[in-house]
A and B are shown apart, each in its own frame.
Chain A
Amino acid sequence: MTIEAGRPPGRPVPLLELRGISKAFGAVQALYRVDLEVHAGEVLALVGDNGAGKSTLIKSIAGIHAVDEGEIRFAGRRVAIHGPKDAARLGIEVVYQDLALADNLDVVQNMFLGREEVTGPLRALHETLMERRARETLATLSVTTIRSVRRRVAGLSGGQRQSVAVAKAVMWNSKVVLLDEPTAALGVAQTRQVLDLVRRLAEQGLGVILISHNLHDVFEVADRITVLRLGQNVAEFRTSEATQAKVVEAITAGALSHVPGQQEESFA
């Protein structure tokens, strides 16, 4: 059950497609010729051990890291993404592992950080509009735990912060949403909410890439599972045909196509 090189005829063009992405940080080969595709209306789970390169892959898609080689295709077109704004223009939104929130700002200010609405000749911040849209987004996501959108995020719980980060990503008519370990810091009930939300996004026709350590969660919401190990694709499964044992085996011992000198089979 290894990766297929070509696309079977008759399958639609993926919304987002990565081909041969490599990225090194000095001597560390974080990604090596990684392929990945996600279709509209689909949840793709990206799993792998700590340090497998999952976050690096997400940041490469978002244009935070410039990749060393490989190409990114969006709706079949090759695209160059040089930063978060380029990604956003294509409709790619990311919920980062560390959430990327500014603690000194409130919920609305964080949801619009980097793309505030302005009004008038002085281009003043349009607080009323932003506040209303933030509320609407939280409401459509059925986020009921955030009582005041004017609270600083420093004072929010882990689950509330996570909700803000997710809401921030889906507010922009996005087409693809990438979530990096969105449930890692959450309790049972809050995890439930995020998973429901992930499903709902896919039902609305978005492509979703979900990174998670929790295979139970992955099996619950994902349509497909892709496994990274030491920066390489080692396996891909349809969730309906996979078992947790097989996925675990791929995570810990999946066959590498290439063993770079610097990273032998050691697990740091």
Chain B
Amino acid sequence: MSDPVMTTEPAAASGATAAVPTARRRQVPETAALVVVLIALGVFFSITSEFFLNYDNFVNILTAAAVTGIIAAPATMLLIAGQFDLSVGSAAAFCGAVVASLALHNDIYYSVFIAVLAGIGIGVINGFFVTVVGINALITTLGTLAVFRGLTQVITDGQTLGIERFGWATERPILDIPVPVFIFAGIALAFWFISRYTVFGRSMYAIGANPVAARLNGIRSKRIIFAGFVLSGLCVAIGGLILTSQLGAASPQAATGMELSVVTAVILGGASLAGGRGAITGTMLGLLIIGTLNNGLVLLNVSSFWQTVAQGALLIFAVSFDQLRIRLTSK
């Protein structure tokens, strides 16, 4: 396996200069594949629809992807550590219901503050059951998915709950780009930094790849996973507030199926169900692929039912690809 003649000199040190984290070399082909798919979709829709290739439509794609992206960023970190959060859609709807119902009788800042706390609180609950009680994350968050969808319906009494003077997320401050896209960009950037350049992010990669090794190296896995769920809750609250602002109301059905879109984007982006793999850049590309696909299908007047079919198929495709990779690398 090893060359007989070797040197300590980093002659072939993969050109790894300062801040270039290393997983890079292997990720390049995958990222490249995602970019190729994205371009192919773009070309296809540019040819088949006269409405696709223009600035306004690109802004539309980004706007539609913003909330999913805001939630997919922490979800990527969680999956890297081998954890899932399926409660994101319900939790977002719950935070929306909280802000809309409180705003009926309270100051808006106070209402927003409580809604953000609610999101963080859901993260704390998920984190508690996963790390302290020791319940599998899939089961825990499947439970909270149901609990918070139900509580959303309780709060709203099953009705759409209007909210006044809460249209901030529809404003377009610069270049005709709406606020949520900027928030999305900021959060994506923050998580990109966290995952690649911080001890926290590095620890998540180690926990996902080899939990025993992480423990033997003194990494406090439970704390880190707990923090991951709390970050997810925080971003979910932000997503819920955006949805409520965009709609001008809290809907009890808001963000239904969000977990599916998020998991699809994260897996498509190269994260593994087995943990230890994944990157924010990949997730963002996965998200753009899904967004472009949805947008193109709408422009081609394909019914939204088919979008759901396409998304489910995409998820199965992405997971199959992941399984294939696991099987190949475990040889």
* Chain A interfacial positions (CB closer than 8 Å to B): 62, 64, 83-85, 88, 94, 96, 98-106, 108-109, 113-116, 118, 122-125, 127-128, 131, 135, 138-139, 143-152, 154, 157, 159-160
Contacts and interface: CB of A to CB of B under 8 A. Distances in A.
Nearest to B329: A154
Interface in B21-77: 21-23, 26
Interface in B209-237: 209-210, 212-219
Interface stretch (B132-140, B196-204, B261-269, B288-296): B196-204
B155 to A, nearest CB: 38
28 contacts: A64-B215, A64-B216, A84-B216, A85-B218, A104-B209, A104-B276, A104-B277, A106-B23, A113-B217, A114-B214, A114-B217, A114-B219, A122-B193, A122-B198, A124-B197, A125-B197, A125-B198, A128-B19, A135-B8, A145-B6, A147-B6, A147-B12, A148-B16, A149-B10, A150-B10, A150-B22, A152-B22, A160-B2
Interface residues of B, number: 41
A157 B2 CA distance: 7
Contacts of B218: 83-85, 88, 114-115
State the main secondary structure of chain A at its contact with B: loop
Closest 5 CB pairs of A and B: A84-B218, A114-B217, A150-B16, A157-B1, A100-B216
A8 to B, nearest CB: 36
B211 to A, nearest CB: 10
Interface of B: 1-3, 6-8, 10-14, 16, 18-23, 26, 193, 197-199, 202-203, 205-206, 208-210, 212-219, 276-277, 329
A131 B212 CA distance: 24
A123 B198 contact: yes
A148 B18 contact: no
Contacts of B215: 64
B2 A159 contact: yes
Contact of B3 (A101, A104, A139, A147): A147
Residue among B11, B22, B276 with the most chain A CB within 10 A?
B22
A62 B26 CA distance: 34
B23 A104 contact: yes
B40 to A, nearest CB: 29
Contact of A103 (B197, B210, B216): B210
Given A102-B213, A102-B214, A104-B209, A146 B21 contact: no
A123 B197 CA distance: 8
A148 B216 contact: no
B14 A148 contact: yes
Nearest to B201: A125
B17 to A, nearest CB: 8
Contacts of A123: 198-199
B25 to A, nearest CB: 8
Given A115-B218, A149-B13, A150-B13, A101 B213 contact: yes
B199 A148 contact: no
A109 B26 contact: no
Contacts of B26: 152
Contacts of A98: 212-213
Contact of A105 (B1, B209, B216): B209
A109 to B, nearest CB: 7
B193 A148 contact: no
Contacts of B7: 144, 147
Contacts of B23: 104-106, 152
Contacts of B216: 62, 64, 84, 94, 96, 100
Given A128-B18, A152-B26, A100 B199 contact: no
Contacts of A148: 10, 12-14, 16
A143 B8 contact: yes
Contact of B209 (A62, A96, A103, A159): A103
A154 B22 CA distance: 13
Contacts of A84: 216-218
A148 B18 CA distance: 14
A230 to B, nearest CB: 25
A102 B12 contact: no
A151 B18 CA distance: 15
Nearest to B17: A128
A104 B202 contact: no
Given A115-B218, A157-B1, A100 B198 contact: no
B206 A102 contact: yes
Given A83-B218, A114-B218, A125-B199, 19 more contacts: A88-B218, A96-B216, A100-B210, A102-B213, A104-B209, A105-B209, A106-B22, A114-B219, A115-B218, A123-B199, A135-B10, A138-B8, A146-B8, A147-B3, A147-B6, A148-B16, A149-B13, A150-B14, A151-B22
Contacts of B18: 127-128
Contacts of A109: 22, 202
Contacts of A116: 199, 202
B20 to A, nearest CB: 8
A146 B215 CA distance: 26
A120 to B, nearest CB: 10
A241 B19 CA distance: 54
Which of B2, B3, B208, B329 gathers most chain A CB within 10 Å?
B2
A93 B105 CA distance: 60
